[in-house]
A and B are shown apart, each in its own frame.
Chain A
Amino acid sequence: MPAVEGLFTFDDDGPRLIGGRVPGTESYFFPKHLGGADPRVGPVELEEVLLSRRGRVWSYTTSHYPPPPPFVVTSEPYEPITIAAVELESEKMVVLGQCTAGVGPEDLEVGMEMELAVDTLYGDDDCDYLVWKWRPVAAGSKD
C-alpha cells in the first residue's frame, strides 16, 4: 500500500504522480492539495491530473547520514540514499524523489532523462509501504 494515500498511482499502466491543475490552464501543483496556488486565479478547485512520467534531472545529491524520523531507515548499517530533483517533461515542474536502489551520484548528471518508478519505502509485518522514486530511463525503460 502507498506510504501516504493520494500522491501517486501504481497500477499496471505504470506509476504516475497525482497532481492538480487550474482548469483550462497550464498551472500545475504537486501534491494537489499542498502545492500552493496561482494568485492570478486564487484558491480554486483544482482538477486532478496525472503528471508526466518522465523528466530531466535538475540536480541530485546523496545523503550519507540517516535522515531523522519520520524517515524510516531500512538497512543496518544505513545505506546512503540518492535523491534527484527532476523537471517534469510537460509541466516544467521540479519534483523531488529518492532514486531507485543502486542508483548513485556517479550514475546521474544534470539534464539526463529520468522516469517514475514505484518502490518500497519501508515494510513491516503486515505489508510493504510504497513511494514514488526516480530512475534513469536507460536503466529501466520499456518504450
Chain B
Amino acid sequence: MDEIAVLGVGMHPWGKWGRNFTEYGVAAARNALADAGVDYADVGFVSGAVTVRCGYPGYVAGSTFARALGFTGAQLASSYSACASGATALQVARGQILSNACDVALVAGADTTPKGFLAPNTGERPDDIDWLRFHLVGATNPVYFGLHARRRMDLYGATTDDFAMVKVKNSRHGAHNPNARFAKEYGLDDVRNSPVVSDPLRLLDICATSDGGAAMVVSSMEWARAHGHRDPVRVAGISTVSPTYPDPVIDLPYLAADSVADPSAPLVGFKESIGARAYDEAGLGPDDIDVAEVYDLSSAMELDWYEQLGFCAPGEAERLLRDGDTAIGGRLPVNPSGGLGAFGEAVPAQAIAQVCELTWQLRGTAGARQVDGARVGITVNQGLFGHGSSVIVRR
C-alpha cells in the first residue's frame, strides 16, 4: 500500500466540561494545521469522525468542523464506526489522497459525552440489538469487559492485581501528558480500593467517558516533499476490517456470538485480524514495532491486545506486563500517552489521538514520556458492531 505523510497533529486536552464538541474539534484542527505549517486554504478534503451524542451537527462532523473553520469549497465526508470512527475518517482521507482527488486532507474528531454509562437511543426498540441487550440482560459495555476479564483469569491465571498494574503503569505514563484528563499517578491500593463495577473489574480498571478533540493534517508524499517535509512520519497501514463469520467470541452489542457447530467454517479471530491487516499493508510484523497505543477500555483489555497484536503468545501478556516490557523504558512500551486509563474515552477523537501520540513519539518530541529510538508504531482499537481499527506509522 502506498504511504501518505502525517504533516501535523493536534489535540484539545481531554476533560469533562460539557461545552460544544465543535470547540474541541476546531481547537485540535487549528493545532494540527499550525503543527503542519499548512495554510488551511490548501486543505482539499475535510474528513470528520462522527459523534452521535451531539445532535445533527455531530452526524455531519466534517461539515461542522469545516464551517467553523470557514467553508472553502473543500470536499467533505463524515464517518461513523463507533470507537473506530477516527481510523475510518483517516482511511477515507487516505483514499482521497492516493486517488489524487486531493493533495492535503484534514482529519478531525471531537466529542462531548454525558455522565455515566453510555446507553442506547430512547423509545421502545425491540428490533434494535443495542436496545435489547440493555433491556433484557442489563448488558452495559462494562459487562462485556468484565466477561472478557474473567475469562482471562480462568484461562491464563490472570489476577485482579495484574489488571490493576495496567492502570498503574498507564497512569504513570499519563502523568507526563498535558492532553490527558487524569494527571494522578495511581498505586495498586487505589485500584484495589475502588468500587467493583463489573466483577472482576473495579472503577479504576474501566475507562471514563470524556470530552476531547484530536486532528491530523495528512498529504501525499509528493506534496509533503515539495513543501519542505523531507522526513515526515508516514502512515504505512490502516485496517478497518470487520469480523469474519463465524466469530465465536461474544462482544458488544450482541446477545449471542456466532455458532461454531459447523466444523467446515473458517475460524479467524476478529481481534487478531485487525492488526494483521495493518501489518500486511505495511509489510511489517510484530517484531518491527517499537511502540503501541492500544484501546484499554478496561485494564484487562490491554492485556488481550498484547496477544492479539502478536507481541506475545496467548497467555503470556501478564508476563510482559510484570517484567516491565510494556512500560516506558521497557522492550515494547504500550500506551505511553497514558491510554484511555488517563484520558477517558472521547469516542470519535480517540483513534485519531492514538496516531497523534505515535507521531510525537516517532518525531522524538514526546518529552518525559518519550520512547527512545521509536521508528515504527501501531495503534489498535475496536468499535462496537464489528469495526476494527489499526494504524501503523513509521519514520
Contact = CB atoms under 8 A, between A and B. Distances in A.
Interface stretch (B51-59, B190-198, B273-281, B319-327): B190-198
B143 A121 contact: no
Contact of B126 (A4, A27, A38, A40): A4
Contacts of B147: 58-61, 83, 85
Given A63-B138, A68-B119, A91 B199 contact: no
Contacts of A96: 133, 137, 139, 250, 255-256
A29 B124 CA distance: 23
B136 interface: yes
Interface in B258-300: 258-262, 265
Contacts of A3: 135-136
Contacts, number: 150
B134 interface: yes
A82 B132 CA distance: 17
A109 interface: yes
A28 B140 contact: no
B232 interface: no
Interface residues of A, number: 50
A61 B198 contact: yes
B39 interface: no
B173 interface: no
Interface string B192-215: 000111111100000000000000
Contacts of B201: 61
Nearest to B118: A68
A26 to B, nearest CB: 4
Given A93-B261, A94-B250, A38 B135 contact: no
B364 interface: no
Nearest to B149: A61
Given A62-B199, A93-B257, A94-B257, A69 B138 contact: no
Contacts of A30: 255-256
Contacts of A105: 150, 199
B25 to A, nearest CB: 26
B116 interface: yes
Given A30-B256, A60-B150, A92-B261, A98 B137 contact: yes
B132 A4 contact: yes
Contact of B195 (A35, A60, A64): A64
A64 B138 contact: no
A127 interface: no
Residue from B133, B140, B155 with most neighbouring chain A CB atoms (10 Å): B140
A35 B126 CA distance: 14
Given A27-B259, A30-B256, A71 B135 contact: yes
Nearest to B266: A40
Given A34-B129, A105-B199, A63 B261 contact: no
Contact of A91 (B126, B198, B259): B259
B387 interface: no
A5 B124 CA distance: 13
25 contacts: A26-B259, A30-B256, A31-B129, A31-B255, A59-B154, A60-B147, A60-B150, A61-B146, A61-B198, A61-B201, A62-B196, A63-B197, A67-B139, A68-B140, A69-B119, A69-B134, A70-B131, A83-B138, A85-B250, A92-B261, A93-B256, A95-B257, A96-B137, A96-B255, A121-B136
Given A29-B256, A110-B154, 18 more contacts: A27-B265, A34-B132, A58-B250, A59-B147, A59-B150, A61-B201, A68-B116, A68-B117, A68-B134, A70-B131, A83-B147, A92-B261, A94-B249, A94-B256, A96-B256, A98-B137, A109-B154, A110-B150
10 nearest interchain CB pairs? A61-B146, A67-B138, A93-B259, A28-B259, A110-B154, A68-B119, A70-B135, A26-B261, A59-B151, A26-B262
Interface of A: 3-5, 7, 25-31, 33-40, 58-65, 67-72, 81, 83, 85, 90-98, 105, 109-110, 121, 131
